[in-house]
Amino acid sequence: MLESLGVTVWFSEKDVGLGVPLMRAIDKGLANSRIGLVLVTPALLRRLPAEGIADRELSALLARDQLIPVVHNTTYEALREVSPLLGSRSGLNTAEEPMASVAAKLAELVAIV
């Protein structure tokens, strides 16, 4: 949806080719991004305590000023239990507005940053 609104999106699952060192590719992607978006799903909440790649990405994103959580199929309360720092950031919730509206707000933000 963001790409259809003219936003350039870097997403490790689509932009890191086979045989490419994943952590270095993620590092480069983060370095070249103006805004960090975290889609907070039940799967992410399960992965973060394991301190794997998702935890490292989140740590890098939390160090930045422009980090927006988007809660999807879970709650901010559940997020705060796993990551109080991320849960304290203002963000968006797909339970409160449709994904198309969330994407439009994010595209608008990217245009002004």
Q: Given this model, what pLDDT does residue 61 score? A: 86
Number of separate domains in the chain: 1
What residues make up the domain containing 76? Answer: 3-112
Can you give the CATH number for the domain in which 90 is found? 3.40.50.10140
H helix or E strand, kind and range, residue 93:
strand 92-93
* Each residue's pLDDT tens digit, 27-67: 888 888 888 899 999 999 998 888 888 888 888 888 887 79
Residues 51 and 10: their CA atoms lie apart, in Å, by: 22
User: What is the average pLDDT score of the chain?
Assistant: 90
CB atoms under 10 Å from CB of 90, counted, come to 6
Q: How far is CA 104 from CA 25, 39, 70, in A?
A: 27, 15, 13
Q: Report residue 71: phi and psi, to 5°.
A: -85, 125
Q: Given this model, what pLDDT does residue 98 score? A: 95
Q: What DSSP assignment string belongs to 42-85?
A: HHHHHHGGGTSHHHHHHHHHHTSS-EEEEE-SS-HHHHHHH-HH
Q: Given this model, what pLDDT does residue 113 score? A: 64
